[in-house]
Amino acid sequence: MVNLKINGIGVQVEDGATVLEAARKAGIEIPTLCYMKEINEIGACRICMVEVQEMRGDTLGPARMVTACVYPASEGMVVKTNTDKVRKARKTTLEMILSTHNRRCLSCVRSGNCELQTLCYEYGIDNDAQFDGVVPENIYDDSAIHMIRDNSKCILCRRCVAVCKEQEVGVIGANDRGFDTHIGCTYDKTLAEVDCISCGQCIVNCPTGALRERDDTQKVYDAIADETKTVIVQTAPAVRAGLGEEFGLPIGTDVEGKMVASLKRLGFDKVFDTDTAADFTIMEEANELIGRVTNGGVLPMITSCSPGWIKYCEYHYPEFIPNLSTCKSPQNMFGGIIKSWYAEKNGLNPDDIVVVSVMPCTAKKFEIQREELRKDVDISITTRELARMIKRAGIQFNSLQDEEFDSPLGEATGAAVIFGATGGVMEAALRTAYETITNSTLEDVDFTAVRGTEPVKVSEIKVGDLTVKVGVASGAKAAKELLERVKAGEEFTFIEIMGCPGGCVNGGGQPIQPTSVRQTVDIKAERAKALYSNDAAKKIRKSHENPFVKAVYEEYFGEPNSHKAHEVLHTSYVDRSKDVIM
Give percent above pLDDT 70 in the chain: 100
Q: Do 156 and 116 meet the contact criterion of CB atoms below 8 Å apart?
A: no
Residue 300: asked if its preceding bond is cis (omega within 30°), the reply is: yes
Tell me, what's the pLDDT at 298? 98
Distance CA 329, CA 408 (A): 20
* Residues belonging to the active site: 285, 288, 305, 325, 364, 367, 372, 504
The arithmetic mean of pLDDT across residues 276-283, rounded, is 98
Looking at domain 218-578, its CATH class is: alpha beta
Residue 567: count other Cβ atoms within 10 Å of its Cβ. 11
Give the domain ranges of the chain.
2-88, 99-213, 218-578
Residue 558: count other Cβ atoms within 10 Å of its Cβ. 12
Residue 464 scores a pLDDT above 90 = no
What band does 127 get if pLDDT is binned at 50, 70 and 90?
confident
Tens of pLDDT, residue by residue over 60-82, are 999 999 999 999 999 999 999 99
Say if domain 2-88 classifies as CATH 3.20.20.150.
no
Distance CA 68, CA 1 (A): 18
Tell me, what's the pLDDT at 579? 86
Residue 237 scores a pLDDT above 90 = yes
Note the CATH number of domain 99-213: 3.30.70.20
The arithmetic mean of pLDDT across residues 567-581, rounded, is 94
DSSP symbol at 362:
S
Q: Do 559 and 167 meet the contact criterion of CB atoms below 8 Å apart?
A: no
Tell me, what's the pLDDT at 582? 67
Residue 354 scores a pLDDT above 70 = yes
Which amino acid would we find at residue 476? Answer: A
Q: Do 380 and 216 meet the contact criterion of CB atoms below 8 Å apart?
A: yes
Average model confidence (pLDDT) for the chain? 96
Tell me, what's the pLDDT at 129? 66
- DSSP run (H or E) holding 12: strand 9-13
Residue 126 scores a pLDDT above 90 = no
Tell me, what's the pLDDT at 91? 96
Residue 460 φ then ψ, to 5°: -110, 125
Distance CA 360, CA 385 (A): 10
- Interior/surface letters 183-201, b for 16+ CB within 10 angstroms, e for the rest: bbbeeeeebebbbbbbbbb
Tens of pLDDT, residue by residue over 498-524, are 999 999 999 999 999 999 999 899 999
- DSSP run (H or E) holding 53: strand 49-53
Q: Which sign does the torsion angle of CA 106, 107, 112, 115 carry?
A: negative
Q: Provide the whole-model pTM.
A: 0.96
The more confidently predicted of residues 4 and 519 is: 4
The more confidently predicted of residues 275 and 579 is: 275
Residue 425 scores a pLDDT above 70 = yes
Inter-CA distances, 397 with 218, 265, 384, Å: 21, 11, 14
Residue 151 scores a pLDDT above 90 = yes
Distance CA 327, CA 336 (A): 12
Which amino acid would we find at residue 107? Answer: S
What band does 134 get if pLDDT is binned at 50, 70 and 90?
confident
Q: Do 423 and 400 meet the contact criterion of CB atoms below 8 Å apart?
A: no
Tell me, what's the pLDDT at 133? 73
Tens of pLDDT, residue by residue over 188-203, are 999 999 999 999 999 9
How would you class 165 by CB atoms within 10 Å of its CB: exposed for 0-12, middle for 13-18, buried for 19 or more? middle
Tell me, what's the pLDDT at 245? 98
DSSP symbol at 401:
P
Strands (DSSP E) along 426-536, which ranges?
456-463, 466-474, 494-498
Q: Which sign does the torsion angle of CA 452, 455, 461, 466 carry?
A: positive
Q: Cα angle vertex 501, ends 496, 503, to 5°?
A: 50
Residue 396 scores a pLDDT above 70 = yes
Which amino acid would we find at residue 573? Answer: Y
Q: Do 172 and 184 meet the contact criterion of CB atoms below 8 Å apart?
A: yes
Which amino acid would we find at residue 492? Answer: F
Tell me, what's the pLDDT at 421? 98
Distance CA 459, CA 337 (A): 34
What band does 219 get if pLDDT is binned at 50, 70 and 90?
very high
The arithmetic mean of pLDDT across residues 165-173, rounded, is 96
The arithmetic mean of pLDDT across residues 247-274, rounded, is 98
Residue 212 scores a pLDDT above 90 = yes
